[in-house]
Amino acid sequence: MQQIRDLVHHLADRKVDAIKLLSEGACAHSGGPKYLWRNPAFPDGVELERLPLDLLRAGIEAGHERGLRVTVHTTQQAAAREAIEAGADGLERGVTIELS
């Protein structure tokens, strides 16, 4: 978790305007459950790596500590809800496909 915090602080030191975290496809989540992106064009799903919740929270907190707006790139409803509950200021892309 310290690594993502350090990265966000490094970016803040470089005077970025905001932080955008990638919820899906952002980093390895070894040992975690498989995460399938569902889309009617790919009926079997496409396996993606997902940013673990503790890293998502740490990145959001670090950005807020530096007064930065933090958004999260995601496409699925569960990941979008998780990002908002973790304190994200907004979503990039938002929910584009959600199958029941």
Tell me the one-letter amino acid at 7: L
pLDDT at residue 17, rounded to an integer:
97
> Mind listing the pLDDT tens digit for each residue in 29-49?
456 566 666 677 777 877 777
Residues 16/67, Cβ–Cβ less than 8 Å: no
**Quick check: is 98 in a domain?**
no
In a domain, 72, yes or no: yes
Distance in Å from the first CA to the final CA of the chain:
33
Low-confidence winner among 26-35, 70-79, 84-93 (lowest mean pLDDT) = 26-35
- Mean pLDDT for 71-96 is 87
Q: Order the strands of the 69-73 sheet from edge to edge.
A: 18-22, 69-73, 90-92
Residue 97 lies in a domain: no
- What angle (nearest 5°) sits at the alpha carbon of residue 63, between those of residues 30 and 38? 45
Q: How far apart are CA 54 and CA 83, in angstroms?
A: 11
How many structural domains does the chain have?
1
Range of the domain at 31: 2-92
pLDDT for 27 equals 42
